[in-house]
Amino acid sequence: MRFIKAKIFIFAFLLLFIFFFSNDFGLIDIEKTAIITALALDTDESGEYEYEITAQIAVPEARQINTENQKAQVSGKGNTVGSALKNIGDVSGWFPKLAFCNIIIIGNGLDGTNVIKVLDYFSKTLRVQDSALVIKSEKTAKEILEKTTPLDNISAFALQKILFKNPGFDMDIAEVDVKTFCSGYYSPCGSSFMPIIKIVEEESSSGGSGGNGGNGSNGGGQSSGEQQKEKPVVFDATTTALYKNGYLVGTLNKEETFARNSLYEDFYNTTFEVNNVVEDGEERNYLLTIKRCVPKIEISASDTAVKLSVSLDLYCKISDLNSSSSDATYEKNQTLPVSVKLAAEQKFGKSLNALIKSSINTGCDFFSIKESLYRYHNKYYKKYKETYLNKLQYSVKVNVTGQK
Amino acid sequence: MEYQLKTRQICLFFIAFLPLGKFFMMPSVIAGITGEDCWISVLINILIDFAVFSVLLYVAKKSDANIYTLLSRSLGKTLSKIVLILYVIYFLLKSVLSIYEQKEYVESTIYLNAQNVFYFLPFFIAAFFLCVKKLRILGRAADVFFLITLIGYVLLIALSINNLDLASVLPIGANGFTNIIKGSYKSINWFGDAVYFAFFIGEFKFGKKDRIKLSLSYVISCIMTLLFILVFYSVFTYISFRQRYALTETSKYTTVINNLERFDYFGISCILLSNVIGAALPVFFCSKILCKLIDIKRKWITILVLIGIETILITVFSEYYKSIEDFILNYAGYYYIFMSVILPCCAPLLIIKKDKNAVEIKPKKEKKNAVYQS
């Protein structure tokens, strides 16, 4: 018995040893693995398939000198997202590895369709992180990936820089990940949003990485010669697309997006301008830094109406102002002039009012009023679930304070 | 009398292994039926389990023999064998989903590209090793794996805290009583853990404060399950039912993960490691019963056959997994209720009968019963 046991254990040990060093039995060679950094989802222009998916692939190369990140774009077509991704592997010979894919771009060709049809794949599969950000392109999604920016040779990395905001940066982008987008879609509100990416052409090139270009390959790529001719671009994501039941129903402009973020994002150290304020007989522009932002959204329901009350309490410091003579600096803790305070309150008040009206007009319930009715005022849920936006009574209150 | 286990080891056993099987597929199954009320369905099952555990705890306190002796003493050889055969079937059924979940999870997360039947073979080898050992191996394993489980659990929960929307479980009971009960019924495969304790009866010395110690550790394991369900639903809210494997998902949204990549896999690996024993528990107890039923010298042959059956069930019949899963979740529940709730609740009858015997024997020492003595 002892002998048999020993044999079994030696056999088991060897077996485990083989698995440990199997390297997946060499089936996935690192050379054949494509590290996808971003995916662009478009409709197939030829009409043969439903979707065309372009993957931006980082190509790491071992070199002795420091070089820019090399990239390639590969497109695949299919009638489902999964088949288009599979097609990428088929045409390139690379196994599309999505674990590092942080950005999913939706092209304008999908505007008239239910975007959940394409995004659902990413929320269900374990292959891609649900924390990948979703953005909408003003043009085709593929174009975004093909652009060269002075920020990084790989446009996906440049996009990440503006989308993943660290504390201390302005929270001016309404970022959303796959999970949150899909969760909004399946929630009682059926409402979601995502930032719109606009391409802003740079007049002067930085002369840095932008001109160096990347290696295009496999159909979707670009030659470095073509890239050199192109003007470098930067991206703007300060506007927001609104979705109701998966369909695009409207947009939020820059001010509305900013106002929305003041209610839902960490606004510490975000700056905003208050322009044309008359102070000491002079028209001045102020740059204020928000040091404290306390938003309050109250939703209540009664037999007669649904009420939304939004209040915002901001504590700001003057960061800069243009004046013919001033010793005001951020460090000096200058008191906030009344005219600036009023102008700031007016600015936020106007934006917040416009934000609520956008929600009512488009039907995109990004305040989650319906969800709130369902969770906290369930007895009114049946009564108002279809008409709550029409019967909405709202109020906005903004209070801006500064150094006292 | 030589005891196989210590009370401490049983306490740690509850915490180390009992909650683990519920972290894979179960949360999404219940969320698909009861939505935000999934935690109520779980709570119902937990309360039932705890009630059964309390009954068995009473039996353990009063009894001086193990479950096999109690059964044969009270029911006779034939009837006790029938009961044990019923438990063999119960554990076999129970083991299918728990092993398959672990297999599918490992394959779809670690061996995504090249899934192969041999990747999961080491599990069966580990299960065989476990089964050939005596009951005390569970105690020793609990001593070691208890810490591993806790590290994994705490890490995963801590990483999820940032993304919790605890209000998502509101309104309470909105999905209706029928759905809540349906959720409880369909998830019963993952509960019924109190039955394991029945096999510990008489295998440890029941001390003075053991009742409190054991109850407390059982409650901790229940809280771990309930907390995980709450965290899972609070992270995924309306798309919870689509997240088949909760374990990988709950922790990955934290900013730290975005910056440092998936180090939450450390916690996941800890849970997976402990669950090698956790998933093998039904097979372990099944093998112990089989070894009692089949009286052969080389017991490892019985165990090898059992592990072979499991391996075939899990690997060869993987194409029928959907039907097996549907059968277990939809129809086997009644059998589970009988085996894990009704039958264990009858356990005090085993010691009542024993008490009667004791009354008959006791008078031997008394003068008044001299006639009886003669």
Q: How far is CA B317 from CA B284, B302, B303, B330, in A?
A: 21, 22, 20, 19
> What pLDDT was estimated at residue A227?
47
A307 near B CB under 8 A: no
Q: Do B113 and A12 touch (CB under 8 A)?
A: no
Residue A184 has pLDDT above 50, yes or no: yes
CA distance B243 to chain A (A): 7
CA distance A157 to chain B (A): 14
> What pLDDT was estimated at residue B47?
95
Encode pLDDT of B56-74 as tens digits: 999 998 888 888 888 888 8
Q: How far is CA A64 from CA A67, A209, A393, in A?
A: 9, 18, 65
Query: Residue range A191-196: average pLDDT?
Result: 92
Q: Do A126 and B237 touch (CB under 8 A)?
A: no
Half-sphere exposure of B1 (CA within 13 A, CB side): 11
Positive or negative: CA dihedral A357, A361, A367, A370? positive
Provide, as residue numbers in chain A, all residues whose Cβ is less than 8 Å from the Cβ of B252: 129-131
Q: Do A5 and B132 touch (CB under 8 A)?
A: yes
User: What DSSP string describes A12-43?
Assistant: HHHHHHHHHTSGGGGSS-GGGEEEEEEEEEEE
**Burial bucket for residue A331 (CB in 10 Å: 0-12, 13-18, 19+):** exposed
Provide, as residue numbers in chain B, all residues whose Cβ is less than 8 Å from the Cβ of A181: none
Lowest mean pLDDT among A321-325, B25-29, B189-193: A321-325
Pick A124's closest partner by Cβ from B113, B122, B242. B242
Per-residue confidence band for B221, with pLDDT thresholds at 50, 70 and 90: very high
Q: Do B298 and A1 touch (CB under 8 A)?
A: yes
Q: Do B239 and A179 touch (CB under 8 A)?
A: yes
> What pLDDT was estimated at residue A233?
81
Q: Which two tokens stand for residue B89?
A: 């079937």
B70-109 residues touching A, CB cutoff 8 A: 108-109
A2-61 residues touching B, CB cutoff 8 A: 4-5, 8-9, 12, 15-16, 19, 24-25, 27-28
Q: Are A54 and A40 in contact (CB under 8 A)?
A: yes
Three-state secondary-structure class, residue A79: coil
d(CA B155, CA B268): 9
Which residue in B238, B251, B254 has the most chain A C-beta atoms within 10 A of its own C-beta, making it the best mutation to test that interface? B238
Provide, as residue numbers in chain A, all residues whose Cβ is less than 8 Å from the Cβ of B302: none
Q: Do A131 and B257 touch (CB under 8 A)?
A: yes
DSSP state of B239: G
A70-109 residues touching B, CB cutoff 8 A: 95, 99
Residue A219 has pLDDT above 70, yes or no: no
Domain ranges of chain A: 26-252, 253-404
Q: Kind and range of the H or E element at A119? A: helix A116-124
Three-state secondary-structure class, residue A160: helix
Q: Kind and range of the H or E element at A167? A: none
d(CA A343, CA B162): 35
> What pLDDT was estimated at residue B365?
45
Q: For residue A396, list its beta bridge partners.
A: A310
Which residue in A2, A3, A19 has the most chain B C-beta atoms within 10 A of its own C-beta, making it the best mutation to test that interface? A19
Encode pLDDT of A349-389 as tens digits: 999 999 999 999 998 988 889 988 898 988 888 888 888 88
Enumerate domains of chain B plus CATH numbers.
7-373 (1.10.4160.10)
Residue A111 has pLDDT above 60, yes or no: yes
CA distance A327 to chain B (A): 39
Pick B113's closest partner by Cβ from A4, A27, A183. A27
Query: Residue range A204-221: average pLDDT?
Result: 43
> What pLDDT was estimated at residue A21?
54
Per-residue confidence band for B53, with pLDDT thresholds at 50, 70 and 90: very high
Q: Do B114 and A187 touch (CB under 8 A)?
A: no
Pick A126's closest partner by Cβ from B108, B171, B253. B108
B242 near A CB under 8 A: yes
B128 near A CB under 8 A: yes
Using alpha carbons, select from A59, A60, A104 the residue that is nearest to residue A84. A104
Which residue in A17, A29, A169, A179 has the most chain B C-beta atoms within 10 A of its own C-beta, making it the best mutation to test that interface? A179
**Burial bucket for residue B63 (CB in 10 Å: 0-12, 13-18, 19+):** buried
d(CA B18, CA B146): 11
Dmax of chain A from CA atoms? 101
> What pLDDT was estimated at residue A278?
84
Query: Residue range A4-19: average pLDDT?
Result: 70
Superfamily of structural domain A253-404: Nutrient germinant receptor protein C, domain 3 (3.30.300.210)
Q: Do B236 and A95 touch (CB under 8 A)?
A: no
Strands annotated E in A51-93: 51-59, 70-78
Pick B170's closest partner by Cβ from A8, A179, A376. A376
CA distance A170 to chain B (A): 17
CA distance B196 to chain A (A): 27
Q: Do B113 and A24 touch (CB under 8 A)?
A: yes
Q: Are B186 and B329 in contact (CB under 8 A)?
A: yes
Q: Are A199 and A188 in contact (CB under 8 A)?
A: no
Positive or negative: CA dihedral B211, B213, B219, B222? negative
Give backbone dihedrals phi and psi of B164, rounded to 5 degrees, phi first. Answer: -80, 135
d(CA A45, CA A43): 6
Nearest CA in chain A to B133: A5
Q: Are A292 and A260 in contact (CB under 8 A)?
A: no
Residue B39 has pLDDT above 90, yes or no: yes
Q: Which two tokens stand for residue B69?
A: 């002796």
Provide, as residue numbers in chain B, all residues whose Cβ is less than 8 Å from the Cβ of A164: 258
Encode pLDDT of B235-249 as tens digits: 888 888 888 877 766
Q: For chain B, how far is it from start to end, CA to CA, in angstroms? A: 31
Q: Do A127 and B249 touch (CB under 8 A)?
A: no
Per-residue burial over A133-163, b if 16 or more Cβ lie within 10 Å, else e, is bbbbbeebbbbbbbbbbbbbbbbbbbbbebb
A296 near B CB under 8 A: no
Pick B122's closest partner by Cβ from A9, A12, A183. A12
Residue A67 has pLDDT above 70, yes or no: no
Provide, as residue numbers in chain A, all residues whose Cβ is less than 8 Å from the Cβ of B126: 12
Tally of CB atoms within 10 A around A37: 23
Query: Residue range A148-168: average pLDDT?
Result: 77
Residue B50 has pLDDT above 90, yes or no: yes
CA distance B18 to chain A (A): 26
B95-B96-B98-B102 Cα dihedral, nearest 10 degrees: 130
Provide, as residue numbers in chain A, all residues whose Cβ is less than 8 Å from the Cβ of B121: 15
Pick B248's closest partner by Cβ from A27, A126, A376. A126
Q: For chain A, how far is it from start to end, CA to CA, in angstroms? A: 86
Q: Which two tokens stand for residue B272?
A: 């997976």
Encode pLDDT of B15-31 as tens digits: 999 999 898 889 999 99
More confident call, B374 vs B121: B121
A177 near B CB under 8 A: yes
Q: Which of A231-240, B31-40, B160-169 is most confident?
A: B31-40
Using alpha carbons, select from A79, A88, A5 the residue that is nearest to residue A40. A88
pTM of the predicted protein model: 0.80
Three-state secondary-structure class, residue A306: strand
